[in-house]
């Protein structure tokens, strides 16, 4: 009964004809349902491209050689820059990219006074081990070469001692004018001469065994000879 009533009630109602959407309406409709998928895909693509760029070092100037600093406290930024620029003047364009670049990598091993410092020291220790395993650094700037060698057994030896030189015993290094530094820590300003910070360090190079070696070994050996030319041990 109800169905006949409905048929009678809607007897004059005509079904709405389907209208073909315009191209603009189709695009708007598609974007309405797929915009989040597109945005997520764009973000993932950006991340993938950034990771690929980092892995392939696209757009970067790669160092011709790396130097590892191991000491109680990190060197100030001005000191790091001065060392990198000065060492670059002693090095050669080993990778052939038209630019001479030396990178100073810092691995501070001081006694941590708080949780944050302990975490930083732990990260530095892990990074140093990775550096040694991958043969990244050829040259080392060390506060205590004997303790470093006892811990890692990685330095070249001579007469049962690390074959290294004090910074001040290398004529080219001792004669350098490296400018000064200025840092503020916990509201206290520290300043001084970069040469004074470096004067207590030793320069050393690592040994290579079982066929392992650093990249551009010839250039690294030449760099060491240039840096320590005329050096004498105390």
For residue 208, the tally of other CB atoms under 10 A from its CB is 14
> What pLDDT shows up at residue 216?
82
Burial degree of 181 (CB within 10 A; 0-12, 13-18, 19+): buried
Domain annotation covers residue 212: yes
Q: Which of 14, 36, 56 is the last residue of a domain?
A: 56
- The CA angle 165-106-180, to the nearest 5 degrees, is 75
Domain annotation covers residue 79: yes
Q: Are residues 43 and 72 in the same domain?
A: no
Q: Which of 37, 56, 75 is the last residue of a domain?
A: 56
Number of domains in the chain: 2
> What pLDDT shows up at residue 13?
55
> What pLDDT shows up at residue 95?
87
Q: Are residues 92 and 192 in the same domain?
A: yes
> What pLDDT shows up at residue 50?
55
Alpha carbon distance 90, 172 (integer Å): 10
With tokens 């944050």, the residue in question is 116
- Three-state SS for 76-97 is CHHHHHHHHHHHHHHCCCCCCC
> What pLDDT shows up at residue 222?
93
DSSP for 98-135, please give it.
S---EEEEE---PPP-SHHHHHHHHHHHHHHHHHHHHT
Check if the beta carbon of residue 132 is closer than 8 Å to that of residue 139.
Answer: no
Alpha carbon distance 65, 103 (integer Å): 7
Check if the beta carbon of residue 175 is closer than 8 Å to that of residue 184.
Answer: no
Q: Which of 38, 56, 74 is the last residue of a domain?
A: 56
Helix intervals (H) in the chain:
2-9, 23-56, 77-90, 115-134, 145-152, 171-174, 194-198, 217-227
Q: Are residues 109 and 144 in the same domain?
A: yes
Domain annotation covers residue 16: no
The two most distant CA atoms of the chain are separated, in Å, by 116
Q: Are residues 30 and 142 in the same domain?
A: no
Q: Are residues 114 and 198 in the same domain?
A: yes
> What pLDDT shows up at residue 113?
56
Domain annotation covers residue 145: yes
> What pLDDT shows up at residue 160?
83
Q: Are residues 49 and 145 in the same domain?
A: no
Of 22, 160, 138, 158, nearest to 90 (Cα)?
Answer: 138
> What pLDDT shows up at residue 56?
47
Domain annotation covers residue 95: yes
Q: Which domain holds residue 44?
A: 24-56
Q: Are residues 81 and 45 in the same domain?
A: no
Q: Are residues 138 and 197 in the same domain?
A: yes
> What pLDDT shows up at residue 29?
74
> What pLDDT shows up at residue 118?
59
Q: Are residues 133 and 80 in the same domain?
A: yes
Q: Are residues 100 and 176 in the same domain?
A: yes
> What pLDDT shows up at residue 85?
94
Per-residue pLDDT of the chain in tens (234 residues, 90 and over written 9): 556 665 655 555 556 666 676 777 777 777 677 777 767 877 776 666 555 555 544 456 688 899 999 998 899 999 999 999 999 999 999 888 889 999 999 999 865 554 545 566 778 888 998 988 888 898 999 999 999 999 999 999 888 888 899 999 999 999 998 999 887 776 777 788 999 999 999 999 998 877 777 778 889 999 999 999 999 876
- Confidence (pTM): 0.70
Which backbone phi and psi does 98 adopt, to 5 degrees?
A: 85, 0
Q: Are residues 92 and 133 in the same domain?
A: yes
Domain annotation covers residue 200: yes
Domain annotation covers residue 122: yes
Q: Are residues 39 and 77 in the same domain?
A: no
Domain annotation covers residue 19: no
Which pair of tokens denotes residue 177? Answer: 């004018």
């Amino acid at each position: 009964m109800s169905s006949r009533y409905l048929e009678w009630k809607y007897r004059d109602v005509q079904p709405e004809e389907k209208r073909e959407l315009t191209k603009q309406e189709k695009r708007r409709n598609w974007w309405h349902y797929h915009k989040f998928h597109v945005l997520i895909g764009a973000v993932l693509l950006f991340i993938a491209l950034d990771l690929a760029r980092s892995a392939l070092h696209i757009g970067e100037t790669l160092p011709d050689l790396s130097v590892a600093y191991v000491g109680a406290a990190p060197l100030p930024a001005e000191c790091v820059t001065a060392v990198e620029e000065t060492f670059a003047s002693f090095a050669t364009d080993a990778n052939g990219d038209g630019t001479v670049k030396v990178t100073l990598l810092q691995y501070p091993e001081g006694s941590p006074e708080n949780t944050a410092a302990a975490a930083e020291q732990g990260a530095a220790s892990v990074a140093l081990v990775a550096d040694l395993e991958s043969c990244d650094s050829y040259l080392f700037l060390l506060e205590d070469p004997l303790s470093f060698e006892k811990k890692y057994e990685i330095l070249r030896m001579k007469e049962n001692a690390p074959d290294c030189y004090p910074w001040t015993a290398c004529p080219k290094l001792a004669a350098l004018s490296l400018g000064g530094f200025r840092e503020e820590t916990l509201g206290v300003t520290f300043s001084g001469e970069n040469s004074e910070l470096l004067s207590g360090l030793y320069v050393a190079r690592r040994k290579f065994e079982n066929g392992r070696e650093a990249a551009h070994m010839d250039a690294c050996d030449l760099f060491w000879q240039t840096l320590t030319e005329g050096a004498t041990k105390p």
